[in-house]
């Protein structure tokens, strides 16, 4: 491939990594949100279900964030430099949130939620839930700043721009939209990992989060028109409008499927609606990594470096792909013995 083709392919690969992280890691964030707001007579059961669902895979889901960061600073170094300078504070808060929620999740798992250690466990639980709620908001706000011209070329200065770039009404609304998407994905996924009244709890949570997602998406449009006019005009163009309308229809369809307790269909449709939302943003953002100073072609690394990136991705995919498949196959596949009481083990005979 030629230089421009390599750069475009690297940008598409970055969007793929962002999508994977949103659908998998985003659902983990959403699980933390529902952990924070667990209530009612089955609050402890809800938290236990969330912990069981997240426990085997939450660390692996962060692979996509690491891959995205490495890809950006390797394939688009000038844009990455501007990104970490212009969004220094929110990105470091994101890093703090990722570390805090992971540590709190693990520390809480080593004690019961009732008993003499309960206050400490509740503290870890609150930290886990709060970090899970704040981090997606910051990520969404950073994404809005990237698309609205809030991150500019440093032009030789290492001084970060004012906070307004990621605290505009559009950035805050996009952050809340990201939070709603994470909460919706998590609740839909959890309907497939629970039964009975617990499943009914997560069904109600999924429907409420889905409605909030649609409301926030609609409310975000006029703010986008005011604060990110280029992004809005691209999304409203005849070439992108069908993708936006299709994503909205998929979201409505997924909520209807959950309402009718068709949870398998709802999971697929909720994931597809998230993909449509992110790829619609990617289409509108094209051809910029960061609007308006860093186009894909201008900020791309030299061709030899880009080729090495794809060689490394190819080798990594051969190792990572089967590993992730096996992980999800073992811990997220259907277990035909689930729900059956354990078979009693015979007592060993005493040695003579």
Give helix 88-108 / helix 77-86 axis angle, nearest 10°. Answer: 80
Whole-number pLDDT of residue 349? 53
What pLDDT score does 157 carry? 46
pLDDT at 203: 96
- Ramachandran class of 11: left when φ > 0, alpha when ψ lies in -120 to 50, beta otherwise: alpha
**pLDDT block averages, 10 residues each, the chain of length 352:** 82 95 93 91 90 85 92 94 91 93 85 59 88 95 91 59 77 96 95 92 96 94 93 86 86 95 94 91 92 92 92 91 87 51 46 50
Nearest-angstrom CA–CA distance, 301 and 120: 48
Residue 176 · residue 234 · CB < 8 Å: no
**Secondary structure of residue 290 in the 3-state scheme:** strand
Residues 6+ apart with CB under 8 A from 34: 46, 50, 183, 186, 187, 190, 202, 205
Secondary structure element (H or E) that encloses residue 295, with its range: strand 294-295
C-alpha 331: how far from its chain's center?
20
DSSP H helices in 55-117: 58-61, 63-75, 77-86, 88-108
């Amino acid at each position: 491939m030629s230089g421009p083709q390599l750069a475009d392919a690297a940008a598409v690969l970055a969007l793929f990594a962002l999508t994977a992280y949103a659908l998998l890691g985003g659902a983990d964030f959403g699980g933390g949100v529902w952990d924070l707001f667990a209530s009612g007579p089955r609050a402890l059961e809800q938290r236990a279900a969330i912990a069981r669902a997240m426990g085997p895979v939450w660390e692996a889901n962060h692979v996509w964030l690491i891959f995205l960061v490495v890809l950006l600073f390797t394939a688009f170094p000038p844009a990455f430099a501007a990104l970490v300078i212009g969004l220094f504070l929110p990105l470091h808060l994101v890093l703090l949130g990722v570390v805090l929620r992971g540590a709190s999740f693990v520390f809480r798992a080593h004690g019961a939620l009732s008993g003499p250690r309960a206050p400490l466990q509740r503290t870890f639980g609150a930290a886990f839930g709060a970090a899970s709620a704040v981090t997606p908001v910051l990520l969404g706000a950073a994404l809005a700043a990237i698309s609205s011209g809030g991150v500019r070329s440093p032009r030789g200065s290492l001084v970060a721009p004012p906070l307004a770039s990621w605290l505009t009404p559009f950035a805050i609304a996009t952050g809340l939209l990201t939070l709603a998407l994470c909460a919706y994905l998590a609740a839909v996924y959890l309907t497939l990992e629970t039964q009975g009244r617990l499943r009914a709890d997560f069904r109600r949570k999924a429907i409420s989060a889905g409605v909030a997602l649609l409301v926030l998406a609609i409310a975000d449009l006029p703010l986008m028109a005011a604060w990110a006019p280029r992004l809005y005009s691209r999304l409203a163009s005849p070439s992108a409008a069908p993708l936006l309308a299709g994503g909205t229809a998929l979201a409505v369809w997924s909520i209807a499927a959950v309402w009718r307790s068709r949870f398998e269909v709802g999971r697929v449709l909720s994931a597809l609606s998230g993909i449509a939302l992110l790829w619609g943003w990617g289409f509108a953002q094209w051809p910029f990594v960061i609007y308006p100073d860093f186009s894909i072609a201008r900020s791309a690394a030299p061709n030899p470096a880009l080729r090495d990136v794809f060689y490394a991705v190819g080798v990594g995919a051969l190792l990572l792909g089967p590993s992730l498949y096996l992980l999800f196959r073992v811990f997220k596949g259907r277990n035909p013995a689930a729900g059956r009481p354990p078979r009693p083990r015979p007592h060993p005979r005493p040695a003579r």
